[in-house]
Amino acid sequence: MQITIDQAKLALDSLEVPVGCVIVEGGSVIAAGKNWTNEPRNATRHAEMEALDVLKEQWQRTGFSAAEVAEKFSAYSLCVACEPCLMCAAALSIIGIEVVYYGCANGKFGGCGSILALHSSTSPRHAFLNLLLLLISYLLSSTL
């Protein structure tokens, strides 16, 4: 978790929301990321997505098949400073990361229990549908 905190500090130093993330395999950190949304003006560049992109770049060079990637994801755990948001929780569920540790709850956007429990759905499709229903409900309530 210390590397996660270190990544969060780097994000804060860059005037980002201080969230850091690491992906772990067998006790070793294999990828790290930090929030990076302000500079690129891209709200999807959360710490989790940045860490996943590190793996994606490694795997593209290596040439892993889709089956190999799926097998690898199921063996990884992810540590993040703050509960993954709905977007990140849905993505983690879809790609098959089953173990997520986080330092604090996210009462506004949390996707691992604070707002929705996307991590506990039995299928990625179910998680996606939950997120879609939440977004539709929000849009309907904000237009009335």
How do residues 31-76 score in pLDDT, each as one tens digit?
A: 999 999 999 999 999 999 999 999 989 988 998 887 888 888 889 9
Spans of all domains in the chain: 2-143
Look at 1 and 18; give whichever has higher pLDDT.
18
pLDDT at res. 124: 57
Radius of gyration of the chain (CA): 15
Q: Residues 48, 50, 57, 68: which is the catalytic one?
A: 48
- Class of the CATH-defined domain 2-143: alpha beta
How confident is residue 85, by pLDDT bands cut at 50, 70 and 90? very high
**pTM confidence score:** 0.81
Q: Of 126, 94, 134, give the one whose Cα is nearest residue 110.
A: 134
48 part of the active site: yes
